[in-house]
Every structure is written in structure tokens, then in C-alpha cells.
Structure 1
Amino acid sequence: MRFLQLIYAFLSLLYVKEDISLVIALTVGTNGKKTLLKSSQMDIYDDDILYYTIALPYPVSPGSEFSLSLSAIITKQSVPYPEHIPMEKEQVLKVTTNAYPLSPYDTGNYSVALLSVTDFYELPHEDFPYSLTKGDIVNHNILYEATEKIPSDTVFDFSFTFSRNAPLTYVNYLKRDLWVSHWSSALQLEEYYEITNHGAKLDKGFSRAKYFNEKLAARQHHAITALRIPFDKSKTIQDQSIYFVDKVGNVSTSQYYNDELVLRPRFPLFGGWNYNFTIGWNYDLKQFLRQGNDEYILSAHILDGIRDTTYGKIDFSIYLPEGAELIDYSLPFAASEPDISHEYSYLDIENGHTKISFEFENIVDEMKNLELILRYKYSSYNIIQKPLFTAFYIFLALMGLYVLKKIDLSIKPTRNGKLISSEEEKVDFKK
């Protein structure tokens, strides 16, 4: 066997397993170089536990050792505590997690670190079934260390709170469209957002006077007052192409500075409040496209994204020029097969733009630099087809107009089935 498959049980508790966004496995070689390993969820039914299989790139000899690093991104684990607070009060968050490593193997040595937690408070719980010693708090970091071996599949709920006076921005739905135009050499992006602040809700109604008197807009607060979207600094956005609109119309409170777009909604978004809007911008297509004969390779980010945000559902669509044919694609993570259809746009003649749509769920901001690679065929004939057909139809329309102008559609008087001349018409008029 060229490689070893390692089975690893990861993340218990039903309310956690549904929110696993990404599992990453790394191994460190003797030279210190890290190698990304392929991990996939196993088809094993269990109410509480998910099992993953990890393929190692080399055999492991009996009695030998190797280093393996496992990471997981879990969403929606921080909840306001309490749920409703006054407008001016700082927000406290609660987290519930497993105090022990969930593994099908016994764990000899174990420690867990809680990083950057302010005003940490350990909620009351039963005694740890296997001893965990809490260290001192150093620079808002806390370390728990096990003093004994931990058996396999050990689960123990551990809850704590900490202070974080910042919004919990959650994108319920994102529609991200990329339009590829070879004639204008542009990649046009448009994103439609439906967002909710999952932070603490107000215990009373909103008072704008109190909001300004307390100067809450000028300090760190759990309401959303601005959304920051950082862009890839290696790419250049076309001048004056950025727009920001919502259901009412154009929103003027936006700023693009130092490769970051800052959006300010029409009103502060407190816990439970919603907002939807659309933004768009254009790139030079050459920054994303490579050509080889009649085949093209498009490389684009799956997500640009709002900073420090979780995404519930993403509809990601790429619109290739009319006549383009998808050959292959590559995603950095597992996803369902894309839906391929056609959609008409300006001056489309036959089938319309080739639309390739993906659906992603439970995506986090940290995944925004991952790229989709798309290979498609677009021949020289397809490139000139649209302007030729457009010119032909315009010519037909002009010729039709010319012919219509030559046809005499005027109504003239007759007598006994014959036209009356203009002179006879004048005599009859005098009579």
C-alpha cells in the first residue's frame, strides 16, 4: 500500500457537526516542509460524531512517528450572552465546545489554548472527568493542560464567556456573478448580499437621539455601521466602475481606498436587523485569463467577501461569452456538480451566454483567497460571430426601412375606379 489511510473522528455534538465549514490536514516532513493532505468525510452514520479519512503520502513503519496537524473551521459557535442588552452596554459572547480532543485513539498528551479572550469567565459545570489544569491568563491567552491520558471518543461540554463588543455579521445569501467579455476585455463582477447581524439584540426600541448622544457611532460597537471588503492588491479595478445600491437606490456612503471598499449602510444594524444591497465593479480581463489557441483558462476568486464574515449560502455564477463551451473546472474543495445553462444578455443571438453555476454553503471569510480554475473553448469564429450577425441584422433593418420609404402608402381619390389627376381634383374643388 503506497499510502496509509488514517481515520479520525472529528467534532461531536449535533449542534456542532452541522456547522463544520472546512477540515484541513497537514503533515510536517523531516525537512520541516508542510504538505496538505486530502481529507474527506466518511459515509458512516452517527448521531453525534463525524468521521474523516486522511490519506498520508507515504507508508508509516511500525513503531515510527510522524507529525500530523488537523484544523477545523466551525461557524455560528459564538452567541450573545445575554441575548438582549441595552444599546450602550458591551456585548458578551458565549461559546460551548468539547473540552477534550475527539479521536478514535487514546490521547497521551493534550493541551487546549483559548486565544485573545477578554474578560474570560468559565461557566459553572461538573468536574472534568479527566483532569485539566488551567494556567495563568497571559496577554488574554489561556492554556488548559491534561495531566493524564484521555480515552478515545471522550466528550464533555465546556462553556465560557468573553467580551467582544463587535458585530457578528452573517451573510444569509450571496449571489456572486462574473461576466466574461472578450470584446471589451473586461471581467464584470456583481454581488447581491442579504445580511443579518447575529450580535446582541436591543432590550428596548432603537432611539436615534440616544445613539448620537452616547456617541456610539464613533467607537467600537456591536452594531454594524460599516462593511469592509478587501480586494486582491495584485489586481487593478477599472476607474469609476464601482457602484453600491440597495432597494431604495444608489447609496453614496462608500469609499474605495488602499484596495479596500468600505460600505456604510443607511442605518446602523443592531442584533437581529437585516440589510440587503448590491455592489459591482470591473476588472481588465487579461489579469485573469490565459489563452492557448481556441482554449482559455480563467482563474478567479470564489469570494472577495466582507471581512470577518460567515456565509450561509452562495450562488456563484460565471457567464461565458455566447458560443463558449466548458471543458473542465477545478475547485479547491469538494462541491456539487455545477449547473450549466444559458442566459440572454445584450445582443445575444442564438443561445445566449453560457452560464455555469455553483452552490456553496457554510463558507467563511478565510476561504476568500481560494480560486476557481475554469477551462473553456471559444473559437475565433465565435468571437466574430456576434458582430457579424449584429451588423447583418442592422443592415436588414435599414434595408427594410429603405424599402418601406419607397412604398407609396398615401390615399388618393378615385372616380369610376380610376385615379383623379391633380388638375381634375382642383376643378372639382372649385365646383
Structure 2
Amino acid sequence: MAKLRICVFILLYIAAFGYSNKVDTISPDIKIKNVDRYIDISSQLVKIVSKLTLENSGKTLLKSFLLTVEGDKKENLAFIGAKDSSGNELKLAATTVKGYDNLKFWRVDLKEAINAAASAVITTESVFTKALLPYPTEITQQEDQLVKYNGNLYFFTPYQVASQKTSLVLNTKSVESFTKVKPFSQQDGTVSYGPYSNIGPFTEKELNAHYKNNSPFLTVTRIERLIEVSHWGNIAIEETIEVEHTGAKLKGPFSRYDYQQDHHSGPASVRSYKTFLPASAADVYYRDTNGNISTSNMKLKKDSVELDLRPRYPLFGGWRSHYTLGYNVPSYEYLYHSGNEYLLKMRAVDHIFDDMQIEEVRTKIILPEGSIGIKVNFPYPVTRLPDSLHYTYLDTKGRPVISFTKKNVVENHIQDFQLRYTFPPLLMLQEPLLVVGFLYALFICVIIYVRLDFSIHKSEQHKE
């Protein structure tokens, strides 16, 4: 009996922890025939798109392969993804490889397995934040911003690469210096390297560039996104946003006169930026601690609402701003139900500005009072916070609040989450009945007060 219990315990342990502790191996049957890389460093983000031609040199079906990044780059990695030649998103799962504890690996599951001696084209995309460093770190109001990029000339992979080309996209002709490894060519703000042949696994070669980059280096240090769901046809959304200019800091004094007179003054500063809201957004407000900010414009488009947000003052390096943005959307576009079962499908984060980088997003979802059986599915890993209750008008038990947080967020994370819950329709009558009951009790009290005489001593006139 004791042996049986031990066996059952071992089986349960394997079932519970076996998958999470799974270790992958680097298959010697996988070869990469060709790699075409495009490294876009024209904004504050580093976007790398690689087109891979995988070859199965083994005798069995190839169902998955591994992706990895350099050890010193893994902290800056915000997003990584892969697609096949048909444009289908491929599933990525974080994994480990024995002997490479300092590296981060992902196992990519293929939609269609690759036959022996066959090949397939896969496109990978990765986005890095804070990978461009201002140099010099301080500039005057009239100076352009120069930044440095330090990367890898080769595609970092655990497999052998037969041939590779790399294109470094700067979108500027003002280049101070860049890595020169033959063969290379420079044309129209793009530096092309390669082709290079027979590159071994995990090969690194330094790739540097020092160039002008006046694109907005605007970072959202923190955003609190509040989504309040109502079954009366409305969903209220409010975002409290803290932004900081993380580019080269302003050296010397700031002249408002020069800034207004000379349009070329402050080329690296941020005067305004565009935020896109859902097309059905209404009752939009934009304010800070001083009140409503009137220096903003709103344009209605077919598929979105465009907000031209202009802070009270321009943002230079090291300067910060804090504001609140709110709006309402109709619930029928995001809330679906069948009987007592409801499904909320919304974005975890919305578009704030182009090439945005967000250090931390904290989202709170307030559900109607009485919601039970709550289940949430996220499109990417997040940190789920403890549930809480929110009390407002006519609440008795409190409304359930689902909270989660995500760090290092970029535009690729603008994806929908799904929240399912159960809500009995009879609870819709709770608030109207409370209002009716309160008014009924109030009228009864008024009638009693007016009709009855509660005085102890009667006046002389009343006695006669």
C-alpha cells in the first residue's frame, strides 16, 4: 500500500510539474539555408524582422524549432513572434536548453511539419526597448539628438546558417559612424551587409551605429487603465498616464520665445502626439491636475477617433507629464452573452502614440455586482493581482474587480483579452427596486410627519 501511494505521488508530481520543467534540445537536423534580416532603428524602438529558410536535414518530421536572443539583450526584449509563409501566427512557448542557462529560448510549434529533406520559410519579429542610448546624453535646445545602437551583425541562433544578409535601416543621411564589415553598402539611410556564408551557431559580431535620431523618445512610465462594465449599455474607460521624455536631457535654460518663434528650435522635443481611440468612443475628456486641457483636437474617422494631444508645455529630455484620458463606448461592441453567460472581449492596452514603449500597464476591470464564475484568458503572460471589490452608488455587496499588470509593453501587445462570467438577469432589477423602495419609504415618512401630531403639549386655542 505504501509503494502504491509513492507511485501515485510521483505520477501526480510529474503531471503537475513535468511540463514546466521540460528541457528542450538543439536538434542537429535543423539547418538554416538563408536569413534576410531588417533592423529598423529609425524610431526609439529596435525592430528586427528576420526571414528564415529552415531546412530539415534529418529523416523524421520537423514539428518545432528554437528561437533565442543574446544574453545581454534579453532584458530589453519586449516582444517576439513568428509567422509561417501563409501569415499564420505560430505558437511560442518559453523553454530552457541544458548548458545555456544564461540564454532565453522559445520553442516555436509549426502549423505544418517539415518533411525530411524539405524546407519552409518562417518570419520572426522581435522588438527591443531602451536599446538606443543618447550620445551625447545632454544637448541644448537648438541641437539635434544623436543616439548609439549596439547589436549583433549576425542572426543569433542555435543552428548553422548557410547564408545571411542584414539591412540596417536608419532613415537618415546624418550618420557619424557605423560598423564596416565587407561586403557592405550605404544608400538612402540604409546600410546593407552581406551576404555572409557558413555562420556557426551562437555567433556574435558587434554591430554599431552612431547617427541622428530626432524621433520622439517618449516613454510611458506607468499607465492605470480602468474599465467599468455596465449591463445598461455602456462601458466606461479611463486611463491615468505618466509620460517622460527619455532622450538626451536638455542642457542649459529653456527659452519659450525662441521655441515659439523658430519652428526648428527643439528638434528632439515633443510638442504633441496622436492617440487613437475606438470609432465608437464618445464623451472624451483630457485633463491633468490643473483641469481640462483645451489644447487638443479630435477628429472622427471611419475606423477610429484621432486625438491630437498637446501637453501644457513641450517635453524635453528628462521632462515629465501626467494626465487623464477617458471616454465611453457602447457595450454591445465588446460584451456578448448567451443566457446567464457573458463574454467581455477588449484590449488590454490601447494605442497611445506611434512606436510607444510602456514600462508598466496596470489594468482594472470592474464587473457588475453579483458577477460570479469569473475566468480570464490573456493573449500573453501577465501578472494577475488579487481580486478586490469596488463600491459605488446603490451597491450592497460590492462589484468584483479583476486586476493584472504587464511590464515592457509595445504596440505588438495591443491584443484582446477574454473575460467570462455569469450574471443572473434578475439582479438587473436590484438597483431600480432599491431606488423605488427608498422613494416609497421617504414618501411614507413625509405622510406620517404631515398627518400626525407628535407634540406632547397642546395649545390653548386647540383646547377651546
Report the CA distance between 1:124 and its aligned residue: 6.9
Structure 1 partner of 2:281: 237
CA deviations on 1:231-288 (whole Å, 9 max, x unpaired) are 23xx3223xx111110111111111113201111111110110110001111121222
Q: Is the 1:328–1:376 contact (alpha carbons within 8 Å) kept by the matching residues of 2? A: yes
> Which residue of structure 2 lines up, in the alignment, with residue 38 of structure 1?
91
- 1:163-191 CA distance string (max 9 Å, x none): 222321100000111111112x1111100
Contact 1:5–1:56 (Cα < 8 Å) also in 2: yes
C-alpha separation in 2, matches of 1:7 and 1:324: 42
Question: 2:124 maps to which residue?
Answer: 70
Determine the structure 2 residue equivalent to 1:353: 399
Q: Tell me, in whole angstroms, the C-alpha distance in 1 between the residues paired with 2:105 and 2:172.
A: 33
Counterpart-to-counterpart distance in 1, 2:392 and 2:347: 23
Rounded Cα–Cα distance in structure 2 between residues aligned with 1:424 and 1:200: 89
Distance (Å, rounded) in 2 between the aligned partners of 1:400 and 1:154: 85
Is 1:206 aligned with 2:254?
yes
Q: How much does 1:132 deviate?
A: 4.7
Indicate the structure (1 or 2) with the bigger Cα radius of gyration: 1
SS in 2 for 1:153: coil
Measured in 2, the distance between the counterparts of 1:71 and 1:237 equals 31
Greater share of strand residues, 1 or 2?
Answer: 2
Q: Deviations over 1:140-182 (max 9, x none)?
A: 2221114331111112332202222232110000011111111
When structure 1 is superposed on structure 2, of 187-196 and 382-391 the one drifting more is 382-391
Are positions 1:422 and 2:463 aligned together?
no
Structure 2 partner of 1:415: none
The equivalent residue for 2:75 is: 18
The verdict on how the C-alpha distance between 1:409 and 1:18 changes in structure 2, with shifts beyond 3 A counting, is: farther
Question: How many Å separate the matches in 1 of 2:394 and 2:62?
Answer: 54
Q: CA deviation at 1:53?
A: 1.2
Among candidates 84, 88, 103, match of residue 49 of structure 1: 103
- Give the equivalent residue in structure 2 for 1:7: 66
Note if contact 2:177-2:211 (Cα within 8 Å) is conserved in structure 1.
no
2:438 to 367, 374, 393: 393
Q: 1:280 to 1:424 in 2, by over 3 A?
A: closer
The number of residues matched between the two structures is: 399
CA contact (8 A) 1:122 1:159 kept: no
Report what 1:262 is aligned to. Answer: 308
Kept after mapping to 2: 8 A contact 1:307/1:365:
no
Query: Structure 1 CA distance, aligned partners of 2:386 and 2:264?
Result: 46
Q: Residues 189-210 of structure 1: CA distance to partner in whole angstroms, max 9, x if unpaired?
A: 1000000011221110212122
Of 320, 332, 357, 2:379 maps to 332
Cα deviation for residue 216 of structure 1 reads 4.3
**Does the C-alpha gap of structure 1 residues 58 and 391 become closer, same or farther in structure 2, counting only changes over 3 Å?**
same
For residue 220 of structure 2, what is the aligned residue in structure 1? 171
Which of 327, 342, 346 does residue 296 from structure 1 map onto? Answer: 342
TM-score by length of 1: 0.85
Tell me by how many angstroms 1:326 deviates.
4.4
CA separation of 1:381/1:196 partners in 2, compared to 1, >3 Å: closer, same or farther? same
Contact 2:161 2:197 in 1 (8 A): no
Verify: 1:147 aligned to 2:196, yes or no: yes
AA in 2 matched with 1:361 = K
Residue type at the aligned position of 1:42: T
- Asked if structure 1 preserves the Cα contact closer than 8 Å seen for 2:165 and 2:196, the reply is no
Whichever residue aligns with residue 12 of structure 1, its letter is E
1:92 pairs with 2:146: yes
Q: Letter of the aligned partner of 1:383 in structure 2?
A: M
Cα pair distance change 1:403/1:227, threshold 3 Å: farther
Q: CA deviation at 1:315?
A: 0.7
Amino acid across the alignment from 2:309: L
Work out which of the residue numbers 418, 425, 432 in structure 2 matches 1:380.
425
Partner deviation per Cα, 1:278-323 (whole Å, 9 max, x = no partner): 0111112122222211222222122222222111100112111111
> CA contact under 8 A between 2:348 and 2:417: conserved in structure 1?
yes
User: Would the aligned equivalents of 1:117 and 1:163 in 2 still touch at CA under 8 Å?
Assistant: no
Pairwise CA distance, 1:409:
5.8
Q: CA deviation at 1:72?
A: 0.8
User: What CA distance in whole angstroms lies between the structure 1 residues aligned with 2:345 and 2:140?
Assistant: 47
Look up the match of 1:27.
84
Separation in structure 2 between the aligned mates of residue 257 and residue 423 of structure 1, nearest angstrom: 74
3-state SS, counterpart of residue 231 of structure 1:
strand
Give, in whole Å, the separation in 1 of the partners of 2:65 and 2:194: 25
Range 79-88 or range 331-340, more displaced: 331-340
- Describe the shift of the 1:47–1:226 C-alpha distance in structure 2 as closer, same or farther (beyond 3 A): farther
Unaligned stretches of 5+ residues in structure 1: 413-418, 427-431
Cα offsets for 1:117-138 (capped at 9, x unmatched): 313537477x8xxx6521231x
CA distance in 1, matches of 2:416, 2:149: 32
Equivalent of 2:365 in 314, 318, 328 = 318
Q: Percent identity?
A: 25
Q: Given the alignment of the two structures, is residue 182 of structure 1 paired with residue 236 of structure 2, yes or no?
A: no
Distance of aligned partners of 1:236 and 1:280 in 2 relative to their CA distance in 1, 3 Å threshold: same
CA contact (8 A) 2:163 2:198 kept: yes
For 2:290, the aligned partner's letter is V
CA distance in 1, matches of 2:263, 2:275: 25
- CA distance in 2 between partners of 1:263 and 1:71 (Å): 30
8 Å contact kept, 1:120–1:161: no
Change (3 A) 1:410 1:156: farther
C-alpha distance in 1 between matches for 2:373 and 2:228: 15
SS in structure 1 of the partner of residue 89 of structure 2:
strand
Give the Cα–Cα distance (whole angstroms) in 1 for the partners of residues 310 and 372 of structure 2. 40
1:120–1:221 Cα change, 3 Å: closer
